[in-house]
Amino acid sequence: MGFKEICCTLGTELDNEVIRIRADQTELGQQLTERINGVANQVKALDGKVTLLDTRVGRLETKVDSLETKVDSLETKVDRLDTRLTAVETKVDALETKVDALDVKFTGKFDALQSNQSEMMQILIAIQRKLDVN
């Protein structure tokens, strides 16, 4: 083989190698493009899920705010009821004191009435005896 043939063979082999390298690069580029597209699709799906979660979180925040308002309202009502209950307890205590005083007064008057009745009975018995003797 001569120099010419060696150069032609080398040129052909280099040309074939360049073609193989370009084919490999094209194939790798295609694989990379497919991977990128797959990742992009997954990112889009993830973005959709995040958007859905954002919406749900927004609704939850609204519900929590509503519940906080209701709890605050209930706290106010409970405080008012507590105040009213304290006032009622004070009035009941005052009534209890008055009832106790009335009970003491009634007991005193009842005892006095019984004493008067006993005296009257004694007088009536004495009168009856005098009438029986006469």
Q: What is the pLDDT of residues 50-68, one digit of tens each?
A: 999 999 999 999 999 999 9
Residues making up the chain, counted from first to last: 134
Provide the b/e sequence for 74-89 (b: ≥16 CB within 10 Å).
Answer: eeeeeeeeeeeeeeee
Whether the per-residue pLDDT at 129 is higher than 80: the answer is yes
- The overall average pLDDT reported for the chain is 93
Spatial separation of the C-alpha atoms in residues 63 and 76, rounded to whole Å:
20
Sequence letter at residue 107:
T
Over residues 92-110, mean pLDDT: 93
